[in-house]
Amino acid sequence: MAFLVAGTLRVASQMADTWESLGRKGKYSMQGPRVALLLSSPEVSASTVTVLEGVFRTLGFDSCQRREASVQGFQWELVRFREQLDAHGGPVGCAFVALVAPSQQLRQPQQLVQELSRCGALYGCPKVFLLLSSSPGAASKPRAFLTSLGELCGHCPHWSLLQLLTEVFCRTAEESSGAASCLVLRSSLRGALCLGDVEPWGPEPEPSPSAQYDLSGAQAALLLAVIQGRPGAQHDVEALRGLCQALGFETTLKMDPLAQAFQEEMAKFREQLDARRVPVSCALVALMAHGGPQGQLLGADGQEVQPEVLVQELSRCGALVGRPKIFLLQACRGGHRDAGMGPTALPWFWRWLRAPPATPSQADVIQIYADVQGSFPRGPIPGSSDQADILMVYAAAEGCVAYRDEKGSDFIQTLVEVLRADPRRDLLELMTEVNRQVCELEVLGPDCDERRKACLEIRSSLRRRLCLHS
The pLDDT assigned to 14 comes to 52
**Residue 37 within any structural domain of the chain:** yes
Catalytic choice (94, 170, 282, 290): 290
Query: Of 169, 187, 205, which marks where a domain is finished?
Result: 187
What is the DSSP code (8-state) at residue 87?
Answer: T
Measured in whole angstroms, how far is the alpha carbon of residue 115 from the centre of its chain?
18
**Residue 417 within any structural domain of the chain:** yes
The pLDDT assigned to 470 comes to 61
The pLDDT assigned to 147 comes to 78
Assess whether 239 and 153 both reside in one domain.
Answer: no
**Residue 367 within any structural domain of the chain:** no
The pLDDT assigned to 109 comes to 82
Contacts of residue 145, Cβ cutoff 8 Å, sequence gap at least 6 = 132, 168, 172, 183, 370
Q: Strands (DSSP E) along 259-305, which ranges? A: 280-288, 290-291, 297-298, 304-305
The pLDDT assigned to 345 comes to 45
What gap in Å lies between CA 122 and CA 463, rounded to an integer?
Answer: 30
CA-nearest of 135, 141, 219 to 180 is 141
Look up the domain containing 442 and give its range: 216-341+384-460
H helices, E strands: number in the chain: 12, 19
**Residue 442 within any structural domain of the chain:** yes
Contacts of residue 110, Cβ cutoff 8 Å, sequence gap at least 6 = 398
CA-nearest of 225, 307, 221, 322 to 272 is 221
Catalytic choice (170, 282, 332, 455): 332
What gap in Å lies between CA 468 and CA 221, rounded to an integer?
Answer: 12
Assess whether 53 and 171 both reside in one domain.
Answer: yes
DSSP string, 14-61: HHHHHHHHHHHTSB----S-EEEEEEE-TTS-HHHHHHHHHHHHHTT-
Assess whether 32 and 140 both reside in one domain.
Answer: yes
Assess whether 168 and 222 both reside in one domain.
Answer: no
Assess whether 309 and 178 both reside in one domain.
Answer: no
The pLDDT assigned to 197 comes to 58
The pLDDT assigned to 380 comes to 41
Assess whether 124 and 255 both reside in one domain.
Answer: no
The pLDDT assigned to 376 comes to 40
Overall domain count for the chain: 2
Assess whether 447 and 393 both reside in one domain.
Answer: yes
pLDDT in tens, the chain (470 residues): 444 444 444 545 555 555 555 755 678 988 788 899 999 998 888 888 888 888 888 787 877 899 999 988 999 999 999 999 998 777 788 999 999 988 777 767 888 888 998 898 888 899 999 988 765 544 445 667 777 887 887 777 778 889 888 888 887 776 654 444 568 999 999 999 988 755 544 555 555 555 899 999 999 999 999 999 999 999 999 999 999 999 999 999 999 999 999 999 999 999 999 999 889 999 999 999 999 988 899 999 999 999 999 999 999 999 999 999 999 999 999 999 988 876 544 455 545 555 556 889 999 999 998 864 433 434 444 444 567 899 999 999 999 999 999 999 999 999 999 999 999 999 999 999 999 999 999 887 666 677 889 999 999 999 999 999 86
pTM confidence score: 0.88
Assess whether 134 and 61 both reside in one domain.
Answer: yes
**Residue 466 within any structural domain of the chain:** no
Query: Of 187, 204, 226, which marks where a domain is finished?
Result: 187
Quick check: is 88 catalytic?
Answer: no
Assess whether 221 and 170 both reside in one domain.
Answer: no
Assess whether 29 and 142 both reside in one domain.
Answer: yes
Contacts of residue 25, Cβ cutoff 8 Å, sequence gap at least 6 = 191, 192, 200, 201
Assess whether 326 and 422 both reside in one domain.
Answer: yes
CATH number for the domain spanning 263: value is: 3.40.50.1460
Task: Find the angle CA(93)-CA(22)-CA(184) to the nearest 5 degrees.
Answer: 75
Assess whether 235 and 166 both reside in one domain.
Answer: no
Quick check: is 153 catalytic?
Answer: no
